[in-house]
Amino acid sequence: MDFVSKKVLLSGRVQGVGFRHFTRVTARELNVKGWVRNRRDGKVETVIQGDSKQVENMIERLKQGPAAARVDAVDIADTDINEAFSVFEVRR
């Protein structure tokens, strides 16, 4: 297993459309860990950890988002967070 940790920033119509809930449900389906939150600038930020293939699948699903969302841009970066997450949670 190739373990990776990615930070993903999504912009567009991504707040007020169930994006955090969609992200948490998808993460649990794909067995990845981390967190998701709304940012004050209108973007959604998430940190995803897990098997590289599952993280890649997760990012592909985030690019689509829930039905009411419109994802205009996706910024993906490796993250040096040293914390190993045990669950996927919605942060406020």
Does the active-site annotation cover 31?
no
Q: Which CATH class is domain 3-84?
A: alpha beta
Q: Which of the residues 13, 38, 57, 61 is marked catalytic? A: 38
The strand order across the sheet containing 44-51 reads: 70-78, 3-13, 44-51, 33-38, 88-90
Please indicate, yes or no, whether the overall pTM of this predicted structure exceeds 0.85. yes
Domain boundaries, the chain: 3-84
Q: How far apart are CA 71 and CA 56, in angstroms?
A: 17
Catalytic residue among 20, 24, 40, 61: 20
Q: What is the pLDDT of residues 20-34, one digit of tens each?
A: 999 999 999 999 999
* Burial class of residue 37 (count of CB atoms within 10 Å of its CB; 0-12, 13-18, 19+): middle
> Model confidence over 24-75: pLDDT tens digits?
999 999 999 999 999 999 999 999 999 999 999 999 999 999 999 999 999 9
Cα–Cα distance for residue pair 8/47, rounded to 1 Å? 6
24 is catalytic: no
Give the helix ranges, DSSP H, for 1-92.
19-30, 52-64
